[in-house]
Amino acid sequence: MCGAKAGGPDAATAKPGETTIQGSVTRDGQPVTGYVRLLDSTGEFTAEVPTSATGQFRFYAAAGTWTVRALVPGASADRKVVAQQGGLTDVAIAV
């Protein structure tokens, strides 16, 4: 199960009890717009969302190990995350 909210997510707007992976994408400390992909533990594509104007993204996912991949003009970067059931996992990605 996975879904996403476009815009500027923050911890206050996360759905209580949902397993949430969210964060921001920056370059040289500044927000960057592009796309973020969620890959499962085998590397298979699960979901993709655009970042907000402030570089933020959010996924609602199952608990487990995930790869979050930022794709922005001229760069990409991966981060491995372990999402806990009902928890909020914050991911900062610098490209």
Delimit the domains of the chain by residue range. Answer: 11-94
CATH, domain range 11-94 = 2.60.40.10
CB atoms within 10 A of CB 80: 11
Kindly report, residue by residue over 8-62, the tens digit of the pLDDT.
Answer: 455 456 666 789 999 999 999 999 999 999 999 999 999 999 999 999 999 999 9
| pLDDT surpasses 50 at 6 | no
Mean pLDDT over 72-80 rounds to 96
2, two tokens? 């996975």
Q: How far apart are CA 57 and CA 12, in angstroms?
A: 14
Question: What pLDDT score was predicted for residue 17?
Answer: 78
**Are residues 57 and 15 in contact, defined by beta-carbon separation less than 8 angstroms?**
no
More reliable by pLDDT, 14 or 71: 71
Question: What pLDDT score was predicted for residue 51?
Answer: 95
The owner of tokens 């996924």 is 59
- For the entire predicted model, the pTM comes to 0.83
